[in-house]
Structure 1
């Protein structure tokens, strides 16, 4: 009898510790939305700063409710490999071996869903109608993101069954958000004055670089809930948590440093805006494989990501796709790279560690399908809305600024 009581007490203690750990990480992940808001607001012009805040609020409120009502069931219900639907999911056995309640698991997953859609908000900044954006948020968080989560993280998902490794979303969060951002930016078209008569891009300076930097620091901090929190429990996972946290930091620091050096030697001075995105690129790239690569590989992944982000930003600009915050380069390009990097650098199964091509091919297949799915569905949705309700603000509203016209406020009021 005493042994039974002791076993029950141990089980409750384990659940209690894991609950505290997951709750803490979920709260940190949720706070990342403040980072998105400040980063994106700082990178746009002052006349549109509050519209960014509004869009991030929509990401949380509209996206959160859509994920609760339908999205979570699609992601984690009983899956046929491609799709699931279960309205009673919070009371079901998800088959994940959780030691925390399903409701808490829903809340931490909510953070990933709204992070994915927040990637899109920056790429459509300064020119998209607010209510059209809200509609897309609902579709994205209610259907699009949950489908990718089903394929990757549901025990019966087709990619999960193939051994696809995306520990915390280089593909499921960042690639899907980045390629949705790409499609949305293409359909919307560039901001007024972004390209001159000769077709060359015209720089539109961000209005508050310190604000953007603070946003990036919040995101950097939040990533240490984002990645380690995906262990979904502290008990028995202390070594894995340490590995994930260490790799996350090493890749992010290496990303920032490589961008500093790359921009210094390319332009003759350090580009601090690009360095901010270099740190984020390193974080995005390591997110898929932070559980399976060694620290040296994490450093190399970050170094490559820090260079790739600058190259991608310049290329995207040259082909006349206007992305005010660099979301496509940071999240789309490096989400793609980070997912593929697992197949190259994984200590067990990676190509460079004698594992052959099996894991690499699986990683390539998965991220390419997710990227194509996200781009295609977003392009169709945006095109339909463009031809019906309209997705772009009027020329006069764009010139005056969305804040004053749509919200009747300014980010920086003047006082007499």
Structure 2
């Protein structure tokens, strides 16, 4: 953001014959001071917008905590709440030490960042503290996704290990590939763009949701289902969460936070498209992104509502909440580059993707208390494909300028280049997360550090690991009755 310059030598002839060089210098000095103030204001506005978006994204941690707590049985409430707190706390430490540097430490090669370890030489011309905090909020969101998949049966120490590994290494390297300006598949990289496009994963259907979902998939697969989730004949048994109230509260908090997650990924707001002074600029694109996010989630919720009514015969608020979140996870990749009508289609398909993966999970005897792998992994993958099909040329060129004839959505006339890049991202994220997190969970399993004992699982982790139950009013009521 450069200031406008004023030259006394150029200004003097314009002031007339009686003007002096001192007058020209004074006027230029005042002009430069005002120009610098406008530059300062621009930085302040953009950083305030980014920090506000960061606070919204961080509020999603409250949503994750409430959603997770409501989705597990009461005897494991303390455990899942504590793991959500530690996802944020542990993620802060390891993303500060290693994660941010591996993700955005520029200059770097296409595969891994090399600077800013422990925020050394920070802030810089490239990044300020607000950008670090925004990216940290995304990193801990990925860790929060994984915790839901392995809830109610995982040793507490395993949570600390996987959360550190995910936020300090696995997630940052994946985000470097697709979000750093140096990343090998980044749409911001002007040279060697993948299929002439690079990957468009604007706010992280792949980088955040697929990474978190696939990590959770491997954890849940290696641990196996919870005791009682399938009967002796292999039929699924519903282990209901203890509070639909907390599930709904968590869902609304996540919805609120998503307005920082998706629109906030523009990183700045004070940017004109084309001629300055027009009513249309990046602020309009931010508003459109909030609209597409809203429509995709709402459509997925309604589709799930009526779809599950037809399939199972009743209205289920928990299913609707998960459907809503599946729509959000799907639209996250293309939220900035699609029209609102396309977002409705995205949400409709996302709901059926989630329903289909849940049916498949039951057939394979896979147990995920939060449906996190199906929701974030499955719907996240659909979101990447959706972007490759429906990204609009005008929006792609606004959000990712500087590349001529950049491919856009296949169904919008942009050819198959972008769709091919999106498929590559799905395969690469799945492979990278499987190799790293799958190996970690397997090692923890072999070392007997992953799953709790049969006795602990039956009794509940709150009682065996956390000093007591989260809710004591039943015991208090019995005590009063005995008197």
Q: TM-score range by the shorter chain?
A: over 0.9
Instruction: Find the aligned partners of 2:315 and 2:359 in 1 and give their Cα distance.
Output: 16
Residue 462 of structure 2 corresponds to residue 403 of structure 1: yes
Query: 1:63 aligns to what?
Result: 91
Deviation at 1:184, TM superposition (A): 0.6
- Shift of the 49–57 alpha-carbon distance from structure 1 to 2, 3 Å rule, reads same
Q: Deviations over 1:302-330 (max 9, x none)?
A: 11111211121121122011101110111
Query: 1:210 aligns to what?
Result: 245
Residue 112 of structure 2 corresponds to residue 83 of structure 1: yes
Query: 1:44 aligns to what?
Result: 72
Q: Deviations over 1:43-68 (max 9, x none)?
A: 11000011111110110011111001
Q: What secondary structure does 1:91 align onto?
A: coil
Q: What secondary structure does 1:159 align onto?
A: coil
Instruction: Find the aligned partners of 2:90 and 2:129 in 1 and give their Cα distance.
Output: 19
From 164, 169, 180, the equivalent of 2:199 is 164
Query: 2:210 aligns to what?
Result: 175
Deviation at 1:32, TM superposition (A): 0.6
Write the mapping of 1:110-259 to structure 2, written as runs, cut at 5 A: 110-160=136-186, 161-162=193-194, 163-236=198-271, 237-259=282-304
Structure 2: gaps spanning 5 or more residues: 1-28, 187-192, 272-281, 394-407
Instruction: Find the aligned partners of 1:105 and 1:182 in 2 and give their Cα distance.
Output: 30
Please report the RMSD computed on the Cα atoms of aligned residues, expressed in angstroms.
1.4
Q: What secondary structure does 1:47 align onto?
A: helix
Instruction: Find the aligned partners of 1:94 and 1:73 in 2 and give their Cα distance.
Output: 13
Instruction: Find the aligned partners of 1:367 and 1:235 in 2 and give their Cα distance.
Output: 33
Instruction: Find the aligned partners of 1:49 and 1:387 in 2 and give their Cα distance.
Output: 27
Residue 428 of structure 2 corresponds to residue 369 of structure 1: yes
Structure 1: gaps spanning 5 or more residues: none
Q: Is the Cα contact below 8 Å between 2:302 and 2:320 reproduced in 1?
A: yes
Q: Deviations over 1:266-298 (max 9, x none)?
A: 222222211101100110000000111111101
Write the mapping of 1:282-297 to structure 2, written as runs, cut at 5 A: 282-297=327-342
Write the mapping of 1:275-286 to structure 2, written as runs, cut at 5 A: 275-286=320-331
Runs of 4+ aligned residues of structure 1 deviating over 3 Å after TM superposition are: 88-96
TM normalised by structure 2 equals: 0.83
Higher mean C-alpha deviation, range 87-96 or range 7-16: 87-96
Instruction: Find the aligned partners of 1:263 and 1:79 in 2 and give their Cα distance.
Output: 48
Instruction: Find the aligned partners of 2:392 and 2:384 in 1 and give their Cα distance.
Output: 15
Q: What secondary structure does 1:80 align onto?
A: coil
Write the mapping of 1:291-310 to structure 2, written as runs, cut at 5 A: 291-310=336-355
Q: Is the Cα contact below 8 Å between 2:304 and 2:323 reproduced in 1?
A: yes
Q: What secondary structure does 2:185 align onto?
A: helix
TM normalised by structure 1 equals: 0.96
Structure of larger gyration radius: 2
Q: Is the Cα contact below 8 Å between 2:330 and 2:383 reproduced in 1?
A: yes
Q: Deviations over 1:321-340 (max 9, x none)?
A: 11011101110000111011
